Structure 1
Amino acid sequence: MVNNSIEKTQVYRCVEILLVEDSPSDANLTMKGFVNTKIPNNLHWVEDGETAMNYLHQQGEFANAPRPDLILLDLNLPGMDGREVLTELKSDPKLKHIPVVVLTTSADEQDILRSYHLSANCYVTKPLDVYQFLEVVDLIKDFWLTAVTLPPDLSIL
C-alpha cells in the first residue's frame, strides 16, 4: 500500500514582522489577525515612514530591534510616505531582500504599478468592511507565514 500523504514536520522560528501603519484602528485589526496563528511571530508597529527607517536601520530607540522577516507597509503615511520607504528599503543592499506587502486603501493603478516597479512583493487593497479586512489579514498571514519560505536574516551570515 502506498501512502500518498506527506507528513510535514517542521520547526518554525519566530517570524519578525514590521507593520508600518498610521491608522491605529487598521493597526489593531492587523495585529489582531496575527495573534491566532500556528507560526510564532512578533509584530512590531510603527506609525510613519521615518520611524520605520529608524527601525530598519536599528537607530536610536531601535538599536536592538530585530531585523524583520516581513514588512506590511501602508502607502499613505504622514511625512515620509510608503512609496519613499519602499524606494529607500529596496535600494539598501542590507534590507532589499526583506519581502514587502503593500497593504493600503489605495486602488489607484499608478500606485499599484509604482509599488511593483519599486519591487514590492505584493499589493493588497484594504477592504472598508472590518470583517473583510480581517479575512484579508488572514490570507496574508496564511500565505506569508505558512506557504512562503522567508529569506534568512542576512545579519547573522
Structure 2
Amino acid sequence: MKILFIEDDQVEMMKMNRAISKLQAKHQLIWAENGHEALSELMSCTRLPDLIILDLNMPRMNGNEFLKSIKQSEVFKYIPVVVLTTSQNREDMVDCYTTGIAGYVVKPLKYEDYVKKIDKILAYWEVNDIVPA
C-alpha cells in the first residue's frame, strides 16, 4: 500500500517508521508535515495513496481543515482517512466522523501499544477493498 502520513512531529514520524519496520510491513510511506504539504503531495502524485493517516493538531492547515478539503474533492474524497491523534476530545471525534473519516485512533503512550494499533490499522486496510482511483 501507498500511505500518506500527515504529521508535524518528527519524533512521531520516526516512531511510525520504526513501527512499520518492526512489523516488517512493505508499504510505501510518504510524509507530509501539514495539510498544505499533503494537498501538494496529492495534487502532484502520479498514483494516489491507498490510505491517509492523519494527525489533527498541526500548524498552517490542521487535520480537520485538510479532511474537509479532500472530502469536497471528486478526486480525493474516496481515499480512506484514519485519524491518529492524541485528542480524546469527543467533539473532534464527532466532527471527523461527520466529515467522513474511516477511523479514529488515539495514540497510546507506550510504544508497544502504538505498534499494536498500527499493526491493526494496516492489517485492516491490507484486506479491505478500496475504491479504485
Aligned residues: 131
CA shift in 2, pair 1:65/1:45, >3 Å: farther
In the alignment, which residue of structure 2 is the partner of 1:85?
Answer: 66
In the alignment, which residue of structure 2 is the partner of 1:143?
Answer: 124
Query: 2:52 is paired with a residue of what secondary structure?
Result: strand
Give the 4+ runs in structure 1 shifted more than 6 A. Answer: none
1:23 aligns with 2:4: no
In the alignment, which residue of structure 1 is the partner of 2:84?
Answer: 103
Question: What letter matches 2:131 in structure 1?
Answer: P
Once the 2 structures are TM-superposed, how far is the Cα of residue 66 of structure 1 from its aligned partner? 3.1
What is the CA deviation profile of residues 18-71 of structure 1, one whole-angstrom value per residue up to 9, with x for unaligned ones? 00011111111212222312xx4211011111101111111xxxxx45311100
Question: What letter matches 1:33 in structure 2?
Answer: A
**5 Å matches for 1:4-153?**
15-35=1-21, 36-37=24-25, 40-58=26-44, 64=45, 66-145=47-126, 147-152=127-132
Which protein is richer in helix relative to its size?
A: 2
List gaps (5 residues or longer) in structure 2. none
Alignment RMSD, CA only?
1.3
TM-score where L is the length of structure 2: 0.92
List gaps (5 residues or longer) in structure 1. 1-14, 59-63
Instruction: Tell me how far apart the structure 2 counterparts of residues 16 and 100 of structure 1 sit (CA, whole Å).
Output: 13
Instruction: Tell me how far apart the structure 2 counterparts of residues 148 and 31 of structure 1 sit (CA, whole Å).
Output: 22
